[in-house]
Amino acid sequence: QLQASGGGLVQAGGSLRLSCAASGRTISIYTMGWFRQAPGKEREFVAAIDSSGRSTYYGDVIEGRFTASRDNSKNTAYLQMNSLKPEDTAVYYCAASWKLTRSQSAYAYWGQGTLVTVSS
């Protein structure tokens, strides 16, 4: 089971760090991905980090503002979000996959999501 947390209300230009903690399953063998879904929009790929933490993959919307990381010893993945914009407002989900990919269908396990709201 994956549990995303760390969302909240932040002003534009601010930062948040999301966490994705796993229970009952080790994440060390999985790529961990982050996705988001804004109101009225489809869920989109944000970032992914491979099982070792050495390779990352980011969606175009990030523009270098977000950083994915992980601590396998804590069974937790992270998404550091800087220079947040109002258009980053969405529910953010973490998910686990066997490969480093942006394809949602490749992610077998999903967390419940955490809401990020960026005010202007």
Residue 90 has pLDDT above 90, yes or no: yes
Cα 103 → chain centroid: 14
Summarize the confidence of residues 26-53 as an average pLDDT. 96
Q: What average pLDDT does the structure give for the chain?
A: 95
| pLDDT score recorded for residue 63 | 81
Percent of the chain with pLDDT over 70: 100
User: Which residues, in sequence order, are CB contacts of 60 under 8 Å at separation 6+?
Assistant: none
Residue 81 has pLDDT above 90, yes or no: yes
Query: Tell me: the pLDDT tens digits for 62-73?
Result: 889 999 999 999
Summarize the confidence of residues 33-57 as an average pLDDT. 97
| pLDDT score recorded for residue 8 | 97
Cα 115 → chain centroid: 11
Q: Looking at this protein, which amino acid is placed at residue 5? A: S
User: Which residues, in sequence order, are CB contacts of 11 under 8 Å at separation 6+?
Assistant: 118, 119
C-alpha–C-alpha distance, residues 75 and 73, integer Å: 6
